[in-house]
Structure 1
Amino acid sequence: MTKKIVFTGGGSAGHVTPNLALIDQLKDWDITYIGSKNGIEKNLVQGHGIAYRAISSGKLRRYFDMKNFKDPFKVLAGVMQAYLILKKIKPDVIFSKGGFVSVPVVIGGWLNRIPVYIHESDITPGLANRIAIKFATKLFVTFEEAAAHLPKDKVEYTGAPIRDVLLKGDRNKGLQFLGFHSDKPVLLIMGGSLGAKKINEVVRESLPELLKKYQIVHLCGKGNVDTKLTETTGYNQYEYVDKELPDVMAASSIILSRAGSNAIFEFLALKKPMILIPLPLRASRGDQILNADSFKKKELCEVMENDSLTSEELQKTIDNVYKNRYDYIDRMTAAQNATHGIKNILSNLNEI
């Protein structure tokens, strides 16, 4: 009999792409995805040809907003909708990647007595997962350090689920797509799907010096392309790169990025020396700071502070990491077990 699984998670690409990485490996399963009506997960999932069911969802906020009075009712409506969908589907298991839309699904699964597996990417759980953990059967974690913040009887360290497609990038295709040559190293700059204003500004200020040593591909976020620099030789700007990203990453010698968990474990899997500039506390709950600190302690990266970022320090750090790139690659090679999340999670799912 074909096993059935329901995936959930949304609100950002980071709550969806690990699910898609797993879905690509579950060829013999009957798969349904439950997400929000208008979230990013809808387009990402439907692009994979997976059955998608939308429910009502309310955002979970840590700050005062008038919507906080309305959204609990949306969450309750979502719980009822999820409960009825799950009652009809009767899946063998629910797999949640977090985000506010996952809470109604996890509760609906618990009410239906369906096993709920949650994957937490960060060292400390976000608000949605803090609520959902109470209803979970198992909790998979990316960082070994996460176990200290979670119920010991539910936690299992699996590492990060890495998208298989990222491991199949072609360096030559990447160089061809970028119009770059192989005589100068490629510096890839990623500020997340929305970009990063501070990083963009300092990188562009540093271009005259950086371009003497590196070819630069800059993923700067929607609306952040600087038209005055579009003809700059050796500097390519994109709001976002999708299908070509594995090839672009394969062509890159060094990466400058924010410190989202999914991204940094992908760099680790690809053995790309990295410089991380985590989101500051005023713009986040501090998860990226903890992620970056963990990698720094293991000597897998260099870390710079967003608010004190300067052109001079950026150039110096990039040059230092590139100079010592083989040392970073050696340490990344020794840490590859942390990128085997797909295999470890599949092992658990296959036991159901």
Structure 2
Amino acid sequence: MRALPRAALRACTKPGTRPLMNTVIACGGTGGHLFPGLAVAEVLRARGHEVMLFVSEKEIDSLALSGRSEFRFHKLPTVGLPSPFSPAILGFARRFAESLSICRGIYRKFKPHAILGMGGFTSTAPVLAGKLRGVPTFIHESNAIPGKANKLTARMVRAVLLGFKECAPYFPKVRTEVTGTPIRHELRPIDRKLARQRLGLREDLLTVLVMGGSQGASGINQAMIKSLPLLHGTPIQAIHLSGARDERLVADNYHRENIPAHVAAFHHAMEEVYSAADFAIARSGAASLAELAAFSLPAILIPFPYAAEDHQTKNAEIFVRGGAAIILKESDLAADLLAQKIRELIEHPNMLQRMADNSASLAPKNAAALVVETMERYTQPNHDARL
């Protein structure tokens, strides 16, 4: 029996049931914006809502959406906000105006009922276009400290949805809801033995996952390369997601030190690498932390030193206070320090297990569903009056 089209489902919605919505999610630019946005889109679609995505023109957005034919998406030419004294501000203004015009034109046909921005300046034009139409708008801030775009866009929304409760004081004049940071539906643990087999790794060795976020991290790659001679003979193997630029260099160094490793620029089935690992060495973007916690992975966190407002350090400190992570500054990353921390985790399995349990306790529970339920609640008629 052929499924009803969503327009027919909407027409059949009974009085008193949850109304179906046309929804927009603006989520491009980085993996930290894109992947949580896709997680929300999956839940919206599963609940019968129509979903349209706005993404950036960056390659990572195209790669992540390849094969995701279930979602309609449009690329926006928006770029990050430069210094107001930079000549680039003119290009920013032109691209922002172009993005706003694109959104308004699409909205005239799509007629959205709710718009969610996931942060970054890719989300600002869609939210503003929604505000101009009188459509309920929302933003999600994953980090412990909000970015410039969300600070600006928060003035136009009904509510700010938060990954960390610690971020609430930065939005004193708008309603906030703590939802956690959404992770994609496919990111569910699989059997560790099977995961290691798929990656060509041994089943009996402690396994470290080294990754630098959606675009790799040269600083982490170099620190790990320098640590490898000091780990020679240690009962360990690695999964190292290096980014494209350093992939060959990283692989050659593991081979030279005779340390078993699966080295790749990227890995699309992240549930495999998370399930195969015992602990991670990673940046501390909010999306990465949410995914590590969902797989109960302790971590040595190396915050990106140039993140806006140093928000990655603030994110990492939440996990350190929760007993799930160790934090190392990239500027302090001598080879012997990183190797020492790795050896400490290897030599103290009880400590590693406690950190794993603590990591699991920090995992967001049904964050994507909470985001969707909040959007549904705030878009009901007379919601403001009931409040």
Secondary structure of the corresponding residue to residue 236 of structure 1: strand
In structure 2, the CA distance between the partners of 1:113 and 1:194, relative to structure 1 (3 Å rule), is same
Q: Structure 2: which 5+ runs fail to align?
A: 1-9, 11-19, 380-387
> Superposition pairs for residues 266-345 of structure 1, below 5 Å?
266-281=291-306, 284-322=308-346, 323=348, 324-336=351-363, 338-345=364-371
In structure 2, the CA distance between the partners of 1:161 and 1:74, relative to structure 1 (3 Å rule), is same
In structure 2, the CA distance between the partners of 1:39 and 1:233, relative to structure 1 (3 Å rule), is closer
Q: Are 1:250 and 2:275 an aligned pair?
A: yes
Write the distance in 2 (CA, Å) between the matches of 1:347 and 1:316: 45
Alignment-derived partner of residue 236 in structure 2 = 214
**How many equivalent pairs are there?**
349
- 2:68 alignment partner, one of 44, 48, 70: 48
Write the distance in 2 (CA, Å) between the matches of 1:160 and 1:186: 26
Which amino acid in structure 1 is aligned with residue 276 of structure 2?
A
Write the distance in 2 (CA, Å) between the matches of 1:136 and 1:115: 7
In structure 2, the CA distance between the partners of 1:339 and 1:303, relative to structure 1 (3 Å rule), is farther
Moved more, 61-70 or 113-122: 61-70
In structure 2, the CA distance between the partners of 1:103 and 1:51, relative to structure 1 (3 Å rule), is same
Alignment-derived partner of residue 374 in structure 2 = 348
- 2:133 alignment partner, one of 92, 112, 131: 112
Q: Are 1:262 and 2:283 an aligned pair?
A: no
Deviations 1:55-95 (A, max 9, x none): 44233124754222221122122212212211321111011
Write the distance in 2 (CA, Å) between the matches of 1:285 and 1:170: 39
Q: Are 1:6 and 2:32 an aligned pair?
A: no
Deviations 1:192-240 (A, max 9, x none): 2332222212211222342522101111112102163364440232111
In structure 2, the CA distance between the partners of 1:129 and 1:320, relative to structure 1 (3 Å rule), is same
- 2:262 alignment partner, one of 233, 236, 247: 236
After superposition, the CA RMSD in angstroms is: 2.0
In structure 2, the CA distance between the partners of 1:128 and 1:330, relative to structure 1 (3 Å rule), is same
Which amino acid in structure 2 is aligned with residue 317 of structure 1?
K
- Structure number with larger C-alpha Rg: 2
> Superposition pairs for residues 70-149 of structure 1, below 5 Å?
70-149=91-170
Contact 2:116–2:137 (8 Å) recurs in 1: yes
In structure 2, the CA distance between the partners of 1:56 and 1:180, relative to structure 1 (3 Å rule), is closer
TM-score (norm 1): 0.92
Deviations 1:6-34 (A, max 9, x none): 11121112111001111222221111112
TM-score (norm 2): 0.84
Deviations 1:128-161 (A, max 9, x none): 1111111111110001100011135421111121
Write the distance in 2 (CA, Å) between the matches of 1:220 and 1:63: 34
In structure 2, the CA distance between the partners of 1:112 and 1:42, relative to structure 1 (3 Å rule), is farther
Q: Structure 1: which 5+ runs fail to align?
A: none
Which amino acid in structure 1 is aligned with residue 21 of structure 2?
K
Alignment-derived partner of residue 18 in structure 1 = 36
Q: Are 1:185 and 2:203 an aligned pair?
A: no
Percent of aligned pairs with the same amino acid: 26
Secondary structure of the corresponding residue to residue 48 of structure 1: coil
Alignment-derived partner of residue 217 in structure 2 = 196
Deviations 1:36-70 (A, max 9, x none): 34563344335311112234423312475422222
